[in-house]
Amino acid sequence: MSVLSGPMSVSLALLGLLEREPSHGYDLKREYDAYFGHGKPLSFGQLYATLARLDRDGKAIAGPAEPGGGPDRKRYVITDAGTADVEQWLSEPAPPEPGLQSTLFTKVLLAVMLGRPAIRFLDLQRAAHLQRMHELTELKRSDNMADVLLADHGLYHLEADLRWIDHTAARLDRLTQAVRR
Amino acid sequence: MSAAIIEAIIEARGVAKSFGPTPALRGAAVSAARGEILAVMGPSGSGKSTLLHCLAGILVPDQGEVWFAGRRLDTRSEAERSALRRDRFGFIFQSGQLVPELTAEENVAMPLLWSGTRHGAALARAREWLGRLGLEGLERRRSGQLSGGQAQRVALARGMVAGPDIIFADEPTGSLDSVSGEGVMNLLTDAARQEGTTVILVTHEARVAAYADRYVVVRDGTVSTLTGAAP
């Protein structure tokens, strides 16, 4: 599970890490994976493509290759334009995503429409959600505060889904009357 | 799941219980293995607290059986069930329910004193548990001088101090903010795992249930075991 999705978020997260301190590509990837990767590490291909784009767009500057072993000896430094992008991104709220057309919703509605056992599906989904919540709760025993914060983020979202599942289970009769032909 | 069947330390079989004309449980069946943390979930009024009270011998079912450690519990006398609750079970409720006139250490020592442990030894053991739950320095405080989270940790120490086989926890974080609640749940589950204590955890909160090894849902007075439950 990656916290960030989409190339925009990846490049802005990399810029943010560069604002903290200039960095070589490899170190940047290591930092990114530690804080934001979570099971989905950034590929070197995506890393260097993103860094090349940031360089091209004037958001970060690649220094000259430094003497030393290995191919990765360029040090990247954020520019004022890059800092302005980070500042702008952090000052905007992320779009609230109500997920009105989520898979969960679609499955429940279809099950009811087709006369299939929606309550059984809701029970299975509840079990799957609880299982994931159990895993995230275990993850919270970690000393890494970034992991704890991320696990909490997941837990609150799963909890919201579960409340919807319970609420829907309690109103299946009315839903059935409303959608069946 | 098979462990719960093979080594059930506590089990309800077909338990029914009504209050006047209102049925709270209609044939509820559930069991927990030694050392297992079992969450009993369900909406308000589903019968989950009544189930906990029947398992703990506080209420006697109208029908069905309750077994503890291989023996029927529900057919024993009130005095026997009371002794069982004192010697083998620990309890944690939503709001600590500490005795306000007593200090934290005296509250914790109570179950030991009831069982005949000498005063000095009981207080020493109480202080040990308070220290274990991060409450060093608060031994002499009364409940009015403790935060909600601290009071609940004192209640946890009181529940654990006599080395019970089972802890019954009814909405143990219900009166706490999320951070304090999390602290109590971490301590409860850690202590139970270290001591091999079974926990029957009644909660309507999924975040609290997520600490359990396994969960069941009480709905309209019956228990459904969810497939795909936690390992």
Give the pLDDT confidence of B100-130 residue by residue, as tens digits.
999 999 999 999 999 899 999 999 999 999 9
CB contact under 8 A, A128 and B217: no
% of chain B with per-residue pLDDT over 90: 80
Let me know if residue A1 belongs to a domain: no
Interchain contact B211–A (C-beta under 8 A): yes
Let me know if residue A117 belongs to a domain: yes
Across the interface, which of B210, B211, B227 has its CB nearest the CB of A124?
A: B227
Q: Which of A91, A117, A134 is the last residue of a domain?
A: A91
pLDDT of residue B209: 94
Assign A72 a pLDDT band (cuts: 50, 70, 90).
low
Identify the helix (H) or strand (E) that includes residue A75. strand A75-78
Let me know if residue A116 belongs to a domain: yes
B62 vs A15: CA distance, rounded Å? 67
Chain A residue with minimum CA distance to B231? A131
Q: Are residues A85 and A113 in the same domain?
A: no
A19-36 pLDDT per residue, tens: 999 999 999 999 999 888
Q: Which of A91, A111, A132 is the last residue of a domain?
A: A91
The whole-angstrom distance between A136's CA and the closest CA on chain B is 8
Q: Are residues A87 and A107 in the same domain?
A: no
Range picked from A26-40, A151-165, B70-84, B165-179 for highest mean pLDDT: B70-84
Coil/strand/helix, residue A48: helix
pLDDT of residue B100: 92
Domain CATH code at residue A41 = 1.10.10.10
pLDDT tops 70 at residue B168? yes
* Number of compact structural domains in chain A: 2
Per the model's pLDDT, the better-predicted residue between B105 and B228 turns out to be B105
Instruction: Please give the full DSSP string across A62-73, using - where no structure is assigned.
Output: EPPPPSSSSS--
A24: region left, alpha or beta (phi > 0 left; psi from -120 to 50 alpha): beta
Q: Are residues A46 and A84 in the same domain?
A: yes
Let me know if residue A98 belongs to a domain: no
CB contact under 8 A, A124 and B228: yes
Let me know if residue A53 belongs to a domain: yes
B156 vs B173: CA distance, rounded Å? 11
The whole-angstrom distance between A97's CA and the closest CA on chain B is 22
B159 vs B90: CA distance, rounded Å? 4
Residues in chain B within 8 Å Cβ distance of A128? 228
Beta strand B22-33 with A60-62 is unpaired
The whole-angstrom distance between A168's CA and the closest CA on chain B is 13
Assign B5 a pLDDT band (cuts: 50, 70, 90).
very low
B219 vs B199: CA distance, rounded Å? 21
Q: What is the DSSP letter of B142?
A: B
Domain extent, residue A122, equals 103-179
Chain B residue with minimum CA distance to A124? B227
Mutate to test the interface with A, among B217, B222, B223 (most CBs of A within 10 A): B217
pLDDT tops 80 at residue B161? yes
pLDDT tops 50 at residue B189? yes
Assign A8 a pLDDT band (cuts: 50, 70, 90).
low
B177 vs A177: CA distance, rounded Å? 40
> How many residue pairs bridge chain A and chain B with CB atoms within 8 Å of each other?
48
pLDDT of residue A3: 44
pLDDT of residue B80: 96
Let me know if residue A32 belongs to a domain: yes
Q: Are residues A84 and A113 in the same domain?
A: no
Interchain contact A66–B (C-beta under 8 A): no
Interchain contact A137–B (C-beta under 8 A): yes
CB contact under 8 A, B206 and A130: yes
pLDDT of residue A103: 80
pLDDT tops 50 at residue B230? no
Q: Are residues A39 and A78 in the same domain?
A: yes
CB contact under 8 A, B43 and A134: no
Query: Residue range B212-225: average pLDDT?
Result: 90
Residue B85 in tokens: 């609750």
- State the CB neighbour count (10 A cutoff) for residue A139: 17
Beta strand B198-202 with B166-170 is parallel
pLDDT of residue B32: 96
Ranges assigned E (strand) in chain B: 8-19, 22-33, 37-41, 63-68, 71-72, 89-92, 166-170, 198-202, 214-219, 222-225
CB contact under 8 A, B212 and A134: yes
> What is the amino acid identity at position A53?
R
Residues in chain B within 8 Å Cβ distance of A140? 182
Q: Are residues A81 and A109 in the same domain?
A: no
Query: Residue range B161-186: average pLDDT?
Result: 91
Q: What are phi and psi of B211, to 5 degrees?
A: -80, -15
pLDDT tops 70 at residue B186? yes
pLDDT of residue B92: 93
Across the interface, which of B207, B226, B230 has its CB nearest the CB of A126?
A: B226
Beta strand B214-219 with B222-225 is antiparallel
Interchain contact A87–B (C-beta under 8 A): no
pLDDT tops 70 at residue B226? no
CB contact under 8 A, B226 and A123: yes
Q: Which of A91, A126, A141 is the last residue of a domain?
A: A91
The packing angle between helices A25-32 and A6-20, to 10°, is 110
Residue A16 in tokens: 């943010």
A99-157 pLDDT per residue, tens: 655 788 878 888 888 888 888 888 888 888 999 999 999 988 888 888 889 899 999 99
Interchain contact A56–B (C-beta under 8 A): no
